Each structure stands twice: as structure tokens, then as C-alpha cells.
């Protein structure tokens, strides 16, 4: 079995770990670092439940080798807010009733946080398009779009 040593910063905390080269970033987070907020949905890059930020960009942790995260800054849903002080996107998901079962929510939230950092969109249709990498089997899409738009409205106010 081939192993690989790497350094990665997750939610501001530096980690030095040795992993099987086959380890995905998703499994590194969940299994080695016990950060289970990031969800494993399809494990093949189709559903977006595993979305995290790497150096500020939203990526699929299931299709990222842990080894490829060497030296990167990774942010997971645990890193954006706390139970007492939610991130504005998390609060908006609550306020807008933007989830039912919650399986996709961490990925939706991380995708939305990154989207709100981008400035090349404005409309409801833009949000639908730019959140299309995150599937929701409960079908909460209209309220997820509401949540994203409500945060953008607050940003602009």
C-alpha cells in the first residue's frame, strides 16, 4: 500500500497526516480529522454534498485526492459558523426553510457561501444555474434560491 505524507490547513488549523494515496479529501476530512459535517453523497462528483472550499474556491472533496491538498487551506461547514453564531447563509437556510432531510445542506451552504463571493450574477435564474452542482432530493430548490437571494439582498443593503 502506498502512503503519502501531507500538510494541510483545515478551518485554520494546521494538520500533518500520513494517508493512503487513494484517500480522497472527503475521507481525510471525515475519517482522519473527524469533521463529519461534510457529507458523502454519491462519491462520484454528481451530487455536490461534499462541497468544501480549497483556497477559497468551491470544489468537490470526493473527486480531490487528499495528496493534492498539500499546502492548501481547506474550509468545511464546521469552519464558517458556530451553533451560537451561524454564518449568514446558515441563518438564511433556517429562515427560508431551505431544507428538509438536511443530507445535502452542508454542501448547499458551502456552495452558496462561495457563490456569494462571486459577482457575475444577479437574477434568480443565475442562482439556479450557479447552484446546479448541488442536488436536493427533497426538492427544496425554490427555498434554497430564496436563501441565497436573501443574503445577497442583505449584502447590498
**Which residues are at the interface with other proteins (CB under 8 A)?**
1-2, 4, 20-22, 24, 43-45, 48, 51, 57-60, 62-65, 67-68, 70, 111, 114-115, 120, 128-134
End-to-end alpha-carbon separation of the chain, Å? 55
What separation in angstroms does the CA of 44 have from each of 26, 55, 67, 84, 134? Answer: 11, 22, 18, 34, 13
Looking only at the bridges linking them, the beta strands covering 73-75 and 51-54 are antiparallel
By C-beta, is 95 or 133 nearer to other proteins? 133
By C-beta, is 43 or 95 nearer to other proteins? 43
CB of 153 to other proteins, least distance (A): 21
By C-beta, is 39 or 64 nearer to other proteins? 64
CB of 97 to other proteins, least distance (A): 23
What separation in angstroms does the CA of 115 have from each of 82, 110, 127, 133, 152? Answer: 20, 9, 8, 12, 10
Query: Helix/strand/coil (H, E, C) string of 36-99?
Result: CCCCCCCCCCCCCCCEEEECCEEEEHHHCEHHHHCCCEEECHHHCCCCCCCCHHHHHHHHCCCC
CB of 2 to other proteins, least distance (A): 5
By C-beta, is 70 or 97 nearer to other proteins? 70
By C-beta, is 21 or 154 nearer to other proteins? 21
CB of 126 to other proteins, least distance (A): 11
CB of 132 to other proteins, least distance (A): 4
Amino acid at each position: 500500500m502506498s502512503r503519502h505524507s501531507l500538510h494541510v490547513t483545515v478551518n485554520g488549523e494546521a494538520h500533518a497526516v500520513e494517508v493512503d494515496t487513494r484517500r480522497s479529501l472527503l475521507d481525510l476530512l471525515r475519517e482522519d480529522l473527524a469533521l463529519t459535517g461534510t457529507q458523502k453523497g454519491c462519491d462520484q462528483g454528481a451530487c455536490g454534498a461534499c462541497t468544501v472550499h480549497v483556497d477559497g474556491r468551491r470544489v468537490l472533496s470526493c473527486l480531490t485526492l487528499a495528496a493534492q491538498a498539500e499546502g492548501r487551506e481547506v474550509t468545511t461547514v464546521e469552519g464558517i459558523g458556530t451553533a451560537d453564531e451561524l454564518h449568514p447563509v446558515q441563518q438564511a437556510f433556517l429562515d427560508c426553510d431551505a431544507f428538509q432531510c438536511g443530507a445535502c445542506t452542508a454542501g448547499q451552504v458551502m456552495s452558496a457561501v462561495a457563490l456569494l463571493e462571486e459577482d457575475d450574477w444577479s437574477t434568480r435564474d443565475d442562482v439556479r444555474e450557479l447552484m446546479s452542482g448541488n442536488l436536493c432530493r427533497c426538492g427544496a430548490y425554490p427555498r434554497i434560491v430564496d436563501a441565497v437571494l436573501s443574503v445577497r439582498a442583505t449584502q447590498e443593503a
